[in-house]
Amino acid sequence: MKVGQRRSKQRELILEELKGLTCHPTADELYELVRKRITNISLGTVYRNLELLAANGVILKIETGGKNRFDGTAEPHPHIRCTQCGRVADVKHHIEAPSLDESQSRGYQVQGCSIEYFGLCPDCKMSSH
């Protein structure tokens, strides 16, 4: 966390819940889990804390084109996303991100690379048959 950023019990609990999951929930989904432990927490508090944790590099924010999802593992790694329901999961093997030299970057200042696979998750695959 940034210098001057005060610790909060709510933020610590949100982070603990997120790190305990194998899925990558939306803020709404995480709110439902956290609310079981802190009944008076607001959805806005969960959103603000997730954004703060992501901005500080503590967690990853996965922008899927729909609702953002969050990952308790901050190191960049590949994901697979369901094109039907939006569910996101980690890809189990390490894939080296390709690097670009100056001539390939077309004048961009490259800040990172994310690798995402997409397809149907097991649940959606079963329901489509």
User: Has 121 been labeled as part of a binding site?
Assistant: yes
User: Has 113 been labeled as part of a binding site?
Assistant: no
User: Has 124 been labeled as part of a binding site?
Assistant: yes
Phi-psi sector, 44: left (phi>0), alpha (psi -120 to 50), beta: alpha
Angle at 63 between CA 60 and CA 64, to 5 degrees: 130
User: Has 51 been labeled as part of a binding site?
Assistant: no
Would you say 15 and 72 are in contact if contact means Cβ atoms under 8 Å apart?
yes
User: Has 85 been labeled as part of a binding site?
Assistant: yes
Residues marked as binding for Fe cation?
A: 96
Provide the annotated binding site for Zn(2+): 82, 85, 121, 124
List residues forming the annotated binding site. 82, 85, 96, 121, 124
